Amino acid sequence: MATDAIIEVSEGKLIEGINNLFGELLKKGLVDALLIPHELPSGANVVQTLITSPEKIKSINPLAPVLPINSARIVSAMTKVASSAKKIGVVLRPCELRALIELVKLKQASLENLVLIGMDCFGTYSVCDYGKFAKEGPSPTQRFLDNAKSGKDDPLLREACQICEYSVPINADLTIGLIGMDLNKGFLLHAATKEGERILEGLGVKAGSIQGRQEAIDKLVAQRIKRRDEVFARTIEQTHGLDKLLPVFAPCINCHNCRDACPICYCKECFFDSPTFELEADKYLGRASKRGALRMPTDTLFFHLTRLNHMGVSCVGCGLCQEACPNDVPVFDIFRLVGSRLQKVFDYVPGRSLEEELPLTTFKANELEEVGH
Amino acid sequence: MDSEFEPSIVGFFCNWCTSTAADLAGTTRLEYPPNIRPIRVMCSGMVDPVYILRALLEGADAVILGGCEPGDCHYVSGNYKARRRMTALKTVLDTLGLENDRVWVRWIGASEAPKFARTMNEITAEIKKKGPSPLKECWST
Q: Within an 8 Å CB–CB cutoff, is residue A245 touching chain B? A: yes
Summarised one tens digit per residue, pLDDT across range B89-130 is 999 999 999 999 999 999 999 999 999 999 999 999 999 999
What pLDDT shows up at residue A1? 58
Chain B nearest-CA residue for A233: B95
What pLDDT shows up at residue A154? 87
Phi then psi for B59, rounded to 5 degrees?
A: 110, 10
Cβ separation A372–B105 shorter than 8 A: yes
Please name the residues in contact with A53: beta carbons below 8 A apart, sequence gap of 6 or more: A26
The kind and range of the H/E element at B56 are helix B49-57
Sheet holding A114-119, edge to edge: A4-8, A186-191, A174-177, A114-119, A88-92, A33-39, A46-51
Summarised one tens digit per residue, pLDDT across range A110-146 is 999 999 999 999 999 999 999 999 999 888 998 888 8
CA A304 vs CA A167, A243, A279, A328, B69: distances in Å: 28, 16, 20, 14, 32
Strands B62-67 and B103-107: parallel
Cα–Cα distance for residue pair A174/A153, rounded to 1 Å: 25
Sheet holding B9-14, edge to edge: B36-41, B9-14, B62-67, B103-107
Cα–Cα distance for residue pair A338/A347, rounded to 1 Å: 14
CB A139 within 8 A of CB A189: no
Percent of chain B with pLDDT over 70: 98
Closest-CA distance of chain B to residue A332, Å: 14
What pLDDT shows up at residue A2? 64
Contacts of A359 in chain B (CB under 8 A): 84, 88
What pLDDT shows up at residue A246? 96
Please name the residues in contact with A168: beta carbons below 8 A apart, sequence gap of 6 or more: A94, A118, A120, A175, A177, A179, A217
CA A196 vs CA A74, A177, B141: distances in Å: 22, 14, 50
Write the single-letter amino acid at B28: T
Closest-CA distance of chain B to residue A336, Å: 11
Q: Which residues of chain A have pLDDT under 50?
A: none
Contacts of A365 in chain B (CB under 8 A): 70-71, 80
What pLDDT shows up at residue A117? 98
Coil/strand/helix, residue A14? helix
Chain A nearest-CA residue for B115: A373
Q: How many Cβ contacts (< 8 angstroms) between chains A and B?
A: 123
Cβ separation B88–A368 shorter than 8 A: no
Closest-CA distance of chain A to residue B3, Å: 22
CB A65 within 8 A of CB A45: no
The beta-carbon neighbor of B83 closest among A302, A361, A363 is A363
The beta-carbon neighbor of B92 closest among A240, A241, A305 is A305
Q: Within an 8 Å CB–CB cutoff, is residue B67 touching chain A? A: yes
Cβ separation A309–B77 shorter than 8 A: no
Other beta carbons less than 10 A from residue A203's beta carbon: 17
Distance in Å from the first CA to the final CA of chain A:
55
Please name the residues in contact with A310: beta carbons below 8 A apart, sequence gap of 6 or more: A265, B49
ipTM of this predicted structure = 0.96
Contacts of A342 in chain B (CB under 8 A): 88, 91-92
Interface-testing mutation among B73, B95, B102, B112, with chain A (most A C-beta atoms within 10 A): B95
Summarised one tens digit per residue, pLDDT across range B53-75 is 999 999 999 999 999 999 999 99
Q: Within an 8 Å CB–CB cutoff, is residue A294 touching chain B? A: yes
Cβ separation A240–B96 shorter than 8 A: yes
pLDDT above 90 (res B20)? yes
Please name the residues in contact with A115: beta carbons below 8 A apart, sequence gap of 6 or more: A30, A31, A87, A88, A89, A90, A173, A174, A195, A196, A199
What pLDDT shows up at residue A12? 83
- DSSP per-residue codes, A265-327: ---SS-GGGSGGG---HHHHHHHHHHHT---SS--HHHHHHHHHHHHGGG-----HHHHH-TT
Strands A186-191 and A33-39: unpaired
Identify the band that residue B33 occupies on the pLDDT scale cut at 50, 70 and 90: very high
